[in-house]
């Protein structure tokens, strides 16, 4: 019972903590309340779990909001702020975050080509930056059960559009397993298990420190 040697984490064709980044866009009260493609409590659980996983594997995270500074919208839902509140947010007025200078500069500054992208709504704030990122040579991965649209039809049509353009559709658990890859990498195992339970006392700062040391 022996695992293969760890592949080159930068050039691996699969997602690794060293070759990917996590993008999260517009999980704000108005957007969350308008979701009709899945039960809202399920969506909240799934995106919070996905954000916890990103922190656990110490992924670079770009968190964007829309219209908070203008007063037209509210900050991200509290459940996400509890996980990502230690990170900066990039507020914008554009529907397409890729058309916001600070957001795009932040993504490019990371220097990673694999973008795990989540957003509300699937049909707009996910689709538009995903298509633009693909056009610029990035690989886009969409955890389909952590994003949502204003209807099931809108959500599914948007996923088809980005997939036809070259995006990879995945599930949140597939993302966790792809980043973990081997249970012998025990530094991130507690955080992996924590994403399945909201009451686990997950601490994002400690998890990030733990993953970095591992």
| CB distance 165 to 130 below 8 Å | yes
Per-residue pLDDT at 198 = 56
Mind listing the domains of the chain with CATH numbers? 20-213 (3.40.50.850)
Kindly indicate the confidence band of residue 115, based on its pLDDT and cuts at 50, 70 and 90: very high
Q: How many CA atoms lie within 13 A of 156 on its CB side?
A: 6
Q: What are phi and psi of 175, to 5 degrees?
A: -60, -45
Examine the pLDDT at 6 and tell me if it is beyond 60: yes
Taking a C-beta distance cutoff of 8 angstroms, is the pair 9, 18 a contact? Answer: yes
Active site residues: 125
What pLDDT band is residue 201 in, cutting at 50, 70 and 90?
Answer: very low
More confident residue, 165 or 206: 165
Report the alpha-carbon distance of residue 86 to residue 51 in Å, rounded: 12
The angle subtended at Cα 46 by Cα 116 and Cα 152, nearest 5°, is: 90
pLDDT at 202 over 80: no
Residues 19-48, mean pLDDT to the nearest whole number? 97
Please state the rounded mean pLDDT for residues 203-209.
Answer: 44
pLDDT on residue 200:
44
Strands (E), 26-172: 61-66, 89-92, 114-119, 139-143, 168-170
- pLDDT tens string 49-79: 999 999 999 999 999 999 999 999 999 999 9
Please choose, from the candidates 48, 45, 30, the residue with its C-alpha nearest in 3D space to the C-alpha of residue 85: 48
209 or 17: which leads in pLDDT: 17
Nearest to 117 by CA among 108, 126, 128: 126
Report pLDDT for 132: 98
CB 55 within 8 A of CB 84: yes
Predicted confidence (pLDDT) per residue in 127-139, tens digit? 999 999 999 999 9
pLDDT at 210 over 70: no
Mean of the pLDDT values across residues 148-174?
98
Q: State the pLDDT at residue 1.
A: 65
What pLDDT does residue 196 have? 78
């Amino acid at each position: 019972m022996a695992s293969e040697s760890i592949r080159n984490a930068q050039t691996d064709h699969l997602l690794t903590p060293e070759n990917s980044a996590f993008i999260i866009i517009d999980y704000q009260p108005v957007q969350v309340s308008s979701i009709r493609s899945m039960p809202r409590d399920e969506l909240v659980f799934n995106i919070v779990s996905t954000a916890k996983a990103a922190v656990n594997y110490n992924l670079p995270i770009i968190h964007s909001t829309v219209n908070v500074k203008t007063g037209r919208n509210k900050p991200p839902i509290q459940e996400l702020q509890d996980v990502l509140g230690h990170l900066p947010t990039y507020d914008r007025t554009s529907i397409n975050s890729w058309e916001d200078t600070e957001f795009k500069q932040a993504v490019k500054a990371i220097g990673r080509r694999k973008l795990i992208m989540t957003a509300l709504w699937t049909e707009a704030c996910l689709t538009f930056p995903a298509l633009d990122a693909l056009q610029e040579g990035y690989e886009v991965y969409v955890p389909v059960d952590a994003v949502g649209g204003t209807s099931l039809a809108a959500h599914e049509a948007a996923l088809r559009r980005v997939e036809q353009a070259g995006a990879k559709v995945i599930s949140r658990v597939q993302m966790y397993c792809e980043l973990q890859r081997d249970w012998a990498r025990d530094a991130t195992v507690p955080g992996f298990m924590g994403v399945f339970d909201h009451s686990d006392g997950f601490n994002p700062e400690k998890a990030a420190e733990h993953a970095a040391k591992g």
